[in-house]
Amino acid sequence: MQRYYFDHNATTPVSREALEAMLPAFTEIYGNASSIHHFGQAARHLLDEARKQVADALGASAEEIVFTSGGTESDNLALLGGAAGGHLVTTAIEHPAVLQTAGRLAGWSCVPVGPSGVVDPDDVRKALKSDTALISVMHANNELGTIQPLAEIVKLGVPVHADGVQALGKIPVNVRELGVAMYSISGHKVGAPKGIGALYVRKGTKLKARQFGGRHERERRAGTENVAGAVALARAMQTHVDTEALRDRLEHAVLRDIPDAHVNAAGSPRIPNTTNIRFDGIDSDALLIALDLRGFAVSSGAACSSGAPEPSHVLLAIGLTREQARSSIRFSLGRGNTADQVDALVGALAESVTHLRKLSPAYV
Ligand SMILES: Cc1ncc(COP(=O)(O)O)c(C=O)c1O
């Protein structure tokens, strides 16, 4: 059976260019970048080049880039290291890497987000306290794709951390223009392997290390550097995948062919690869499995805790009922998807939704 992947916000295949770029760092230039001998210096050189390329791609300078293991670590470092002892303001639609870390700080406030899936900067302002050390607002939401008004939030005058994991590679990202103090990125969302990411830390931003054992990354993140990963990340960041026309084709065809389907947060500014669609009367996990059996990989956004699937906190936060949240599916496109695949997906969706609705007492 042919299989098609529409879950690029979960992870992406490693691109051929990134793979080829990183291979020498496994087998030929394998030194420890902290060693002073030839092997170490060769690895250091690769790492320095990668750091410069990542910085250039973000509009930053090399010493402002801290390599990490991925988005989760970058978010943890930004919050625990950048807001330590102070109050944090964040939003109800953040990734758990931010929300669950926020709960470990001295104090934090969570700003609600309406049906648009976009936070109102004025609500962020109202949540500020005299001891607010950091605001953390994602650049693009992983489930809805909605783009957050970072430039306006930066104007509030408090250092801003942005989780840019889902924005990178999909919309232009220039940290200097955005004005953020910190920005998280993750390699495996953009065609680099799992296990590499970075945190941009603007010069002068206070950041306490969260792991210890060496002076790596200018004493901001101890641990032998993942040189191969850094090289792959740098290479992957040089490619931009344009999927907007395919995403629009998918949305138009679904709304045309399937009754009672709704695009969540449709009118808001969104990254061009993501659409989150609600099918009335459908259980999203049943639809996900039906599509998987037909060869299409999508995401239901539901998190499984204690054995029972919980509806997505993002969809509940934008005002959907539990039933509506549990009838929503995320489609995220990427390199490799084609118009033919999209058309085949719409056909499989139409058949699966019709079949499941016949079985559903909730759909009349
Ligand atoms: C918005 C966002 N932040 C953080 C992460 C975590 O990144 P990683 O998988 O690299 O730890 C993800 C991954 O899904 C994400 O979508």
Which CATH number belongs to the domain containing residue 331 in this structure? 3.90.1150.10
Rounded distance between C-alpha atoms, residue 275 and residue 141, angstroms: 11
2 within some domain:
no
Ligand 1 centroid–CA 192 distance in Å is 14
Protein residue with least CA distance to atom 5, ligand 1: 71
Rounded distance between C-alpha atoms, residue 357 and residue 363, angstroms: 6
Ligand 1 centroid–CA 268 distance in Å is 22
Ligand 1 centroid–CA 237 distance in Å is 16
User: Do 49 and 174 fall into the same domain?
Assistant: yes
301 within some domain:
yes
Ligand 1 centroid–CA 72 distance in Å is 6
194 within some domain:
yes
Helix (H, G, I), strand (E, B) or coil at 293: helix
Q: What are phi and psi of 65, to 5 degrees?
A: -105, 125
User: Do 225 and 253 fall into the same domain?
Assistant: no
Domain-ending residue, one of 236, 255, 276? 236
Mutation probe of ligand 1 site: the residue of 73, 165, 171, 271 with most atoms within 8 A of C-beta: 165
5 within some domain:
no
7 within some domain:
no
**pLDDT, position 93:** 98
Helix (H, G, I), strand (E, B) or coil at 337: coil
Ligand 1 centroid–CA 360 distance in Å is 34
Q: Is 187 in the pocket of ligand 1 (CB under 6 A)?
A: no
Instruction: Extract the tokens encoding 187.
Output: 């390699």
Domain-ending residue, one of 208, 236, 264? 236
H or E stretch at 171:
none
Protein residue with least CA distance to atom 8, ligand 1: 71
User: Do 90 and 169 fall into the same domain?
Assistant: yes
Mutation probe of ligand 1 site: the residue of 72, 148, 194 with most atoms within 8 A of C-beta: 72
Do the Cβ atoms of 291 and 279 come closer than 8 Å?
no
Q: Is 68 in the pocket of ligand 1 (CB under 6 A)?
A: no
CATH of the domain at 163: 3.40.640.10
Mutation probe of ligand 1 site: the residue of 99, 142, 168 with most atoms within 8 A of C-beta: 142
Q: Taking the CA of residue 47 as centre, how many other CA atoms within 13 Å lie in the half-sphere pointing to its CB?
A: 27
Which residues carry out catalysis? 304
Q: Is 138 in the pocket of ligand 1 (CB under 6 A)?
A: yes
Ligand 1 centroid–CA 81 distance in Å is 18
User: Do 72 and 190 fall into the same domain?
Assistant: yes
Q: Is 148 in the pocket of ligand 1 (CB under 6 A)?
A: no
Query: Which residue segment(s) compose the domain that 261 sits in?
Result: 241-359
The total of structural domains in the chain comes to 2
**pLDDT, position 362:** 74
Q: What are phi and psi of 346, to 5 degrees?
A: -65, -40
Angle at 157 between CA 152 and CA 160, to 5 degrees: 70
Q: Would you write out the chain's pLDDT as a tens digit for each of its 364 residues?
A: 999 999 999 999 999 999 999 999 999 999 999 999 999 999 999 999 999 999 999 999 999 999 999 999 999 999 999 998 899 999 999 999 999 999 999 999 999 999 999 999 999 999 999 999 999 999 999 999 999 999 999 999 999 999 999 999 999 999 999 999 999 999 999 999 999 999 999 999 999 999 999 999 999 999 999 999 999 999 999 988 899 999 999 999 999 999 999 999 999 999 999 999 999 999 999 999 999 999 999 999 766 555 567 899 999 999 999 999 999 999 999 999 999 999 999 999 999 999 999 998 878 7
- Alpha-carbon distances, residue 198 vs 50, 121, 165, 206, 349 (angstroms): 11, 26, 10, 17, 37
User: Do 169 and 23 fall into the same domain?
Assistant: yes
Rounded distance between C-alpha atoms, residue 37 and residue 40, angstroms: 5
Rounded distance between C-alpha atoms, residue 174 and residue 4, angstroms: 32
Q: Is 97 in the pocket of ligand 1 (CB under 6 A)?
A: yes
User: Do 245 and 230 fall into the same domain?
Assistant: no
Domain-ending residue, one of 196, 216, 236? 236
Rounded distance between C-alpha atoms, residue 359 and residue 257, angstroms: 20
Burial label, 304 (beta-carbon count in 10 A; 0-12, 13-18, 19+): exposed
1 within some domain:
no
Handedness of CA 250, 253, 256, 261 (dihedral sign): negative
User: Do 189 and 158 fall into the same domain?
Assistant: yes
User: Do 155 and 288 fall into the same domain?
Assistant: no
DSSP annotation string for 38-65: HHHHHHHHHHHHHHHHHHHHHT--GGGE
9 within some domain:
no
The distance between the two most distant Cα atoms of the chain, rounded to a whole number of Å, is 73
Rounded distance between C-alpha atoms, residue 133 and residue 79, angstroms: 10
User: Do 305 and 321 fall into the same domain?
Assistant: yes
Q: Say how many C-beta atoms besides its own lie within 10 A of residue 177's C-beta.
A: 11
User: Do 307 and 350 fall into the same domain?
Assistant: yes
- Alpha-carbon distances, residue 130 vs 27, 87, 133, 207 (angstroms): 53, 9, 9, 20
Q: Is 86 in the pocket of ligand 1 (CB under 6 A)?
A: no
User: Do 165 and 272 fall into the same domain?
Assistant: no
364 within some domain:
no
User: Do 320 and 307 fall into the same domain?
Assistant: yes
